[in-house]
Structure 1
């Protein structure tokens, strides 16, 4: 199947969305039982974490942890937003820098100003987006002290759709920011996979929202391949990805290639696909890569390939360096639940 396709379906009774390009699974979203990133709570401060400058908060979904707290006392309420998934036994990660994000617009409390994404290069598109935003303000103005970011998806979009989106986000932000409650409560539920697909995969027009779309698009077979730790790479090379309780171990192999450049070629193939594999498998934290044998002089080229791929990621991922044993160390934010936990 050529081109981009979005399939909206269910996996094991969970809402799911798949992004497919030319028969390759580029992204996969599956709902979980954990609080969704983007969820906004009215939290209640409970106790500070001495030495870390943080505070544990009470929420309807359990304990949350807020970093870099100043002037917050136990019993005080505040608005916080879920930033990712908690590791087993740990508190929900939250931030007090709340964003109201939709397909075309992001409302930014305490950060005034109207800005247009730098990805929109044409002046005509930028002017059209700004004009549409002001149409939205006519229906629902920005909350006092808040700002607006017009996303790259505004380029070429219907002005009426942009205006409606801006107005909806302004209304939601005004309602939440005016909250004066005292008990822990969920104020806004984070977006599920179908809503996230609509919000983030805006460049795709071929969307199949009907039940059975995973089977029709081939997403079912592509998903089955992710159940195995073995990954087939271009050139006949292989990579094994195995999560443990402490880290994610990645082993790169040359398979049957015994040529002098086999190690370099295998490592380059692995670096090209590793970020996608981690994204699809929902893996993050500390990632240790055992590359195929190759001279130290090839490390810069391998690093360059990996850094180029990491720049395409929306999730913070950093190559921290090499160990004395010749292993690569990567740190990736935990933004999803591990796929293996969702397929049980």
Structure 2
């Protein structure tokens, strides 16, 4: 199966989407159970509950007795209603992380209340196309509050003017409706997009070669086998090397092994292969937080090459990841945002 293929199906009677590139699973989205906390991207009216002294944050009450944590709570007081958007997953039953910087995201555009200005994705290089997009954006945003901003995503490149204007207008109207609905008790105002909508919205660039939407697509086209492989701790790399990815309560441990070849050259090759595949593995497994790599033995002079490979790999990944660096014992540490459910909790 060659090319970039988007498959829309269900798993456990919940919407699911898979992105396959040349027959290899690159991304996987599965809707969480309905009785869980609000999903990433949901917009809610919360009510300030209590400040966290010493941390500068604020706990908020959400609908259905759930709670949220806002990192910047300065100037807020208990009982104050607040519009917030879910930014991550609350780990181990902790409060859901939220922000007051709302984003209304569609396939082509992102409307940004309280962040004015018109911006176009840097990946769109052609100056004539950028001028065309700016003209459409100015027209579509006319009449919106002057505090509203707009970001045109890379998928907007060469899109029909009417389709793009309709997309922008829909997000602008939604943003206006939500941002004027401040007063009241905790309430879900905009639900998180399901797996199918997220795939349509976020996998639009580059344009898929094919979209297959039907029951049984995962089984027929090898997605289920790919998922089974991801559920295993061991990941096979090139030349007999491997890495073990093992989540614990404190961190995610990654152990890189060379296999039968224990030479320093084999160690570097195994570490470079692990660096290249690690973002995909973490994305598919839904793993975040502290990640510690026990790399295969290699000369210290080769560490820079490994770091560069790791940096390139995570630059292409959509999740915020901090490359913290080496520990005194020769481990390499990362800090990755928890932006989806662990796969083991969804299967």
TM-score by length of 2: 0.95
Is contact 1:117–1:149 with CA below 8 Å preserved after alignment? yes
Is contact 2:68–2:96 with CA below 8 Å preserved after alignment? yes
Query: Aligned to 2:342, which of 325, 333, 338?
Result: 338
- Determine if the alignment matches structure 1 residue 123 to structure 2 residue 127: yes
Distance in 1, Cα, partners of 2:223 & 2:20: 8
- Determine if the alignment matches structure 1 residue 312 to structure 2 residue 312: no
Moved more, 13-22 or 256-265: 256-265
Query: Aligned to 1:241, which of 245, 253, 259?
Result: 245
Is contact 2:47–2:62 with CA below 8 Å preserved after alignment? yes
Query: Which 5+ residue runs of structure 2 have no aligned equivalent?
Result: none
User: Runs (4+) of structure 1 moved beyond 4 Å?
Assistant: none
Query: Aligned to 2:44, which of 41, 45, 49?
Result: 41
Moved more, 254-263 or 157-166: 254-263
Query: Which 5+ residue runs of structure 1 have no aligned equivalent?
Result: none
- Determine if the alignment matches structure 1 residue 155 to structure 2 residue 178: no
CA RMSD of aligned residues (A): 1.3
Is contact 2:288–2:338 with CA below 8 Å preserved after alignment? yes
- Determine if the alignment matches structure 1 residue 100 to structure 2 residue 104: yes
Q: CA deviation at 1:135?
A: 4.5
Distance in 2, Cα, partners of 1:336 & 1:217: 24
What does the per-residue CA deviation read over 1:129-169, in whole Å, with 9 as the maximum and x for residues that have no partner? 2233345346xx32341111111111121222111100100
For residues 115-264 of structure 1, what are the structure 2 equivalents within 5 Å? Answer: 115-137=119-141, 141-202=143-204, 203=206, 204-264=208-268
Partner of 2:280: 276
The number of equivalent residue pairs is: 341
Distance in 1, Cα, partners of 2:314 & 2:113: 29
Query: Aligned to 1:51, which of 51, 54, 57?
Result: 54
- Determine if the alignment matches structure 1 residue 83 to structure 2 residue 87: yes
Q: CA deviation at 1:236?
A: 2.1
What does the per-residue CA deviation read over 1:303-337, in whole Å, with 9 as the maximum and x for residues that have no partner? 11111111111111121111121111111111111
Is contact 1:77–1:182 with CA below 8 Å preserved after alignment? yes
Moved more, 73-82 or 8-17: 8-17
Is contact 2:45–2:182 with CA below 8 Å preserved after alignment? no
Partner of 2:4: 4
Distance in 2, Cα, partners of 1:201 & 1:13: 22
Secondary structure at the counterpart of residue 85 of structure 2: strand
Distance in 1, Cα, partners of 2:198 & 2:4: 16
Secondary structure at the counterpart of residue 334 of structure 1: coil
